[in-house]
Amino acid sequence: MVTKTITITKSAYEALIREKRERESFSNLALRLTSKHGTLKECLGLWKLSQKERKIFEDIKKSWEDSDDELKRRLGS
Is 48 a residue whose pLDDT tops 80?
no
**Average pLDDT in the 15-38 region?**
86
Does residue 2 lie within any of the structural domains? Answer: no
Please give the residue range of the domain that contains residue 18: 10-75
Q: Is residue 15 part of a domain?
A: yes
pLDDT at 37 over 70: no
Its pTM stands at 0.45
- The number of beta carbons lying within 10 Å of the beta carbon of residue 51 is 7
Q: Is residue 48 one of the residues assigned to a domain?
A: yes
Domain membership flag for residue 5: no
Question: How many domains is the chain partitioned into structurally?
Answer: 1
Determine the distance from the C-alpha atom of residue 1 to the mean position of all C-alpha atoms in its chain, rounded to a whole number. 20
Residue 1 within any structural domain of the chain: no
Residues in the chain: 77
The conformational region for residue 65 under phi > 0 = left, psi -120 to 50 = alpha, else beta, is alpha
Q: Is residue 55 part of a domain?
A: yes
Band of pLDDT at residue 19, cut at 50, 70 and 90: very high
